[in-house]
Structure 1
Amino acid sequence: MRTQKRCLGYVALVVDDYDRAIEYYTDLLGFHLVEDTPQPGKRWVVVTPDPESDCNLLLAKASNERQGSFIGDQCGGRVFLFLQTDNFWRDYHSMKEKGVHFCEEPRQEEYGTVVVFEDIYGNRWDLYQNA
């Protein structure tokens, strides 16, 4: 019998600047800064949409040209991350008022309400609420 819980703990997102990324994800998307710890030559920066969540976003500053080439295109132009909400319209309007770039108008799908937006780097996200 399995008793250990498994989940994704961190998803790394390559960024160009720690402070710029922290500001965007906390101020515009409403994420919480979980940790910002200096390490030799880098920082361990973690944000999360919900402090009770087990899944966090690790903001990883590109340390070379190759890594830098993936900033904003970590998934080849496809939607990369999916931000689930319990109140789509609250979050949509809040993000829109703060200047988040939406690629389309919200739409109703079989599975729920969804809209695609791009983060500060151009990574595509879905904001969605299950039906």
Structure 2
Amino acid sequence: MKIQLTSVLVDDQAKALEFYTAALGFTLQQDVPLGEHRWLTVSGDSGEFPQIVLEPDEHPAAKAFKAALVADGIPYTVFAVDDVAAEFERLSNLGVVFTQPPVPMGPVITAVFDDTCGNLIQIAQMVD
């Protein structure tokens, strides 16, 4: 079993696509119109899969869930990076707002940023 698709609930798909591709460096994989929304997926440097579905947060439970996570400072998901400090600097220079700078936490170093679409996202680096 493996992960093929996972979702990040976003409040604006166009803004999310811009942020996830231009700032984070993901690659657009699918952009299919579906009425007022789109089937919109991006993937990282590992190729076509796994993909992140930039999914509209239109359901009332989704909005409440996201707001509760942000209020408590809890990241929605975690992305692996090779060097948290370098990504922190690169993203900060692009104007990305971090709620937690790089912090060593045992076997990992983490940092947390606002994805501009209603989520906190954590980046993590495994430490040898």
TM-score interval, smaller chain: 0.7 to 0.9
- Partner Cα separation in structure 2 for residue 7 and residue 74 of structure 1: 29
- Following superposition of structure 1 onto structure 2, how do residues 86-125 of structure 1 map, counting pairs within 5 Å? 86-125=82-121
Q: Which has the larger radius of gyration?
A: 1
1:73 is matched with 67
How high is the TM-score relative to the length of structure 1? 0.79
User: How many residues of Structure 1 are paired with residues of Structure 2 in the alignment?
Assistant: 125
Structure number with the higher helix fraction is: 2
Aligned mate of 1:28, from 20, 23, 27: 23
| Cα distance in 2 between the residues matched to 1:71 and 1:120 | 16
Per-residue deviation, residues 10-48 of structure 1 (Å, max 9, x unmatched): 222222322111011111212111111123453110012
- Return structure 1 stretches of 4+ with deviation > 4 angstroms: none
CA contact under 8 A between 1:45 and 1:58: conserved in structure 2? yes
Contact 1:46-1:59 within 8 A present in 2 as well: yes
| Aligned match of 1:39 | 34
Identity %: 23
Given the two structures, how large is their TM-score scaled by the length of structure 2?
0.80
Whether the aligned pair in 2 keeps the contact of 1:15 and 1:71 (CA below 8 Å) is no
Which consecutive residues of structure 2, in runs of 5 or more, have no partner in the other structure?
none
Matched, 1:128 2:128: no
Structure 1 unmatched runs, 5+: 1-5
CA distances 1:78-100 after superposition (whole Å, capped 9, x unpaired): 22211101222332211111111
